[in-house]
A and B are shown apart, each in its own frame.
Chain A
Amino acid sequence: MNKKSSRLFAEARKSVLILPSMVLLLIFFVMPILLTVYYSFTNLALSGENAKQLKFIGLSNYVSMFKDRTVRISIVNTLVFLLGSLIGQQVLGFLIALNMRNRNRIFRGIVGPVFLAGWIMPEVVVALCCSTFFGDEGTLNQIFSFFHLPTVEFLFAIPMATVILANIWHGTAFSMMNFQSALDGVPADIEEAAKVDGAGPFQTMLRIILPCIKNTIATNTMLNTLSTLGVFGLIYMMTGGGPGTKTLTLPIFMYRQAFISQQLGYGTAISMILLVIGIVLSVFYTRVMRKD
């Protein structure tokens, strides 16, 4: 009896201790999400008659969303931006981490800080740096004209590639550090044993190193996916989603609909697509991870 009541007491104490954080989570995290879901079914607007009276309009935001060609364009743009950033950040991050491991001092001294700089700078500063670098009279074009090469309007001729490059610069350091610590965890004796057994560097990479760090690759991919899906400031500052719809990703389209066209309800409905994409991809990654 005594034992039972003391366990009960321990449980109660646990619940009380956890209560404040639960309340905070409810207020600042769960409630906004539920509200967002609710607003996506309403005519919420920034101005005009609709701003006066909030009405439940059922699925009509979603119906018009599926009819809207721009929604499709921005989903495709989001996925292109995501894929480009993911591949770029991870491959580059891995290669840098690998080279750092081989203790090339000059390489360490130059490349490390360059990418770290892109990571520690706020998004706005990264966008500004990249705009001036890729701009019409920017650094890159000045280098081009110095060598008498034709200049390119990067932000207009190849806008998507340019914002992806900017995002790669911004995000590579994160992958690099993840891979660095994972590579440090690869036991040296296994590598050595492989070498003794006659495995070349390529085989060692494919059969020893990569399998050892595959969990890091999966986690890293998931984290990068979620942070890339949410990128707003970088693209908004560099291209504003333009020219036309060429870099219009879902977060920017959502902002335009909600705040510029003043249709908050429609904007929140669009943010739901973003949520769904994020959930689908995360579930996909966890499944892949679990297989092994």
Chain B
Amino acid sequence: MKKMKKVAAAVLASTMVLSLAACQGSGAKTEATAQGKTEAGSGETGKTAETPGTGGKTKISITFRDGGSDALKNWFEHAYETYDKKDSIELDIAPITASEGDYFAKVALALQSADTAPDIVCEDTFQLPSDVAAGYLTDLSGYLKDYKEWNDGTFYGPLVDGVTYSDGSVYGIPYCTDTRGLWYNKDIFKAAGLDTEWQPKTWQEILDTCKVIKEKCPDVVPFWCNSGVASGEATSMQTYEMLLYGTGEQLLDENDKWIASSENILKSLNFINTIYKDGYGPSLSKVLNGEAGNIASREYLPGGKLAISLDGYWMTGNYKETGSAPWPEYKDKLGIAAMPTSEGQKPGSITMSGGWALSIPQLSDQKDASMDFIKHCMSYDIYLDTIIAQGNIATRTDIAADPTYASQPFMEKCTGFLSGAFYRPRNSQYSTVTTHIQTMVESVVSGTSPEDAMAQYKSDVTNSVGADNTVTK
């Protein structure tokens, strides 16, 4: 009996302590809920005040990721200041300060309950299908019937497709898009004796250039690409997919099955492996850091410590007067080259393109007011200011023709890349598969062989999407 008691006590004690661990694991959840609660709490007061006669305002809350730049916050504040319904609407700006991976988890949790769901949420278009499948977002089709710009082709076609779910309904208004390429520091190229008008035609030419830089400028990091789990989607899209799609393969095959293992996956991983094995990449402590993207674009590239960076157009937003790392001469010191295909095969160069959209959660209680505010945010003048400040590519064709916008450095070339751009799969499983891609890339970078990393990827993807939905090439 005593024996039993002791064993029972031990079992209970261990479950207790371990459940503490579980609590820690779900810390994000409690935090998100708590945050949402206060929002909802203040929302309540807004609603009570809304009753006729008290002259109160309707409150809409807006959630986005605070990544250390004020561009989005300024956009919503500026839009609100110029809003003609300011007297009846109150705006609650509720950003989430988190890494990219954590942002999507927090948003998904917040959207599950009416108490925590905001009225407008910024969704990365890759996460959109998954959140639509989960029933988290409102079908906006009904609202779009009388949205003139939506129906007269003002928004770029491929971006409209990006926010249209497989059932043909629209779930977001795209507010930015992007293209990617090889940014290079011309000063370093000059010092290494290289041509400052650079356009590699194959992956091998990139590696050859890195070799020259490493020999001539030993203190400079030749090549930087997002490579860690901590960089989240940036690692999948800016690095892995830019390589994979450049081999001619895509993530899904023609029957919409995930390619879990192939020669081309291996080829892409081998390129990454060569970069780090031959010492062309930055130190792991820099590139596996959650701040990796910022270190490269705000510190290393302008500081003359990095020669080539595979990154998106938005990077230039940092260098503007209003940016996080102003670099007055960036127009002349920086160059952009298109990312070549693996062996220079057609179409010669490639880019991935993505972007973000403004969506209305299914559980929002102010859908009409929110949609109206979104339209105001996307109106010509307001949107023009923010898209320049964000350093992103506009989703409206009429903005693209605006002289202030079009005269920005590199704009013409980067917008030009859009014509042949590839988009990520519009598949609700992508948001899970992409995390496996990040794990695969980080393991190659930190010493696992490309073959082993791909084997692990295959097992992870098969586990997540089911063996029926994967193929091996």
Contact = CB atoms under 8 A, between A and B. Distances in A.
Nearest to A226: B17
Given A46-B109, A67-B463, A229 B131 contact: no
Nearest to A61: B463
Contact of B442 (A233, A243, A278): A243
B134 A68 contact: no
A47 B445 CA distance: 29
Contact of A52 (B135, B228, B464): B135
Contacts of B285: 135-136, 153, 155-156
B431 A48 contact: yes
Q: Give the secondary structure class of B's interface.
A: helix
Contact of B108 (A47, A135, A240, A281): A47
Contacts, number: 178
Contacts of B20: 230
Q: Give the secondary structure class of A's interface.
A: helix
Nearest to B433: A261
A256 B232 CA distance: 12
A141 to B, nearest CB: 11
Nearest to A282: B10
Interface stretch (B22-30, B33-41, B312-320): B22-30
A243 B446 contact: yes
A139 B350 CA distance: 44
Contacts of A29: 16, 19
A47 B131 contact: yes
B194 interface: no
B288 A242 contact: yes
A285 B10 contact: yes
Interface in B65-97: none
A246 interface: yes
Contacts of A16: none
A246 B11 contact: no
A15 interface: no
A229 B229 CA distance: 23
B71 to A, nearest CB: 25
B187 interface: no
Q: Which 3 A-B pairs have the closest CB atoms?
A: A230-B21, A51-B134, A243-B446
Contact of B15 (A47, A233, A275): A275
Contact of A232 (B3, B19, B21): B21
Given A156-B284, A258-B25, A290-B6, A244 B442 contact: yes
B239 interface: no
Interface in B107-146: 108-109, 112, 127, 130-131, 133-136
Contacts of B294: none
A190 interface: no
A286 interface: yes
14 contacts: A47-B133, A48-B431, A49-B134, A52-B133, A68-B459, A153-B283, A156-B284, A232-B24, A243-B447, A244-B448, A256-B229, A261-B435, A262-B104, A278-B14
Nearest to B29: A259
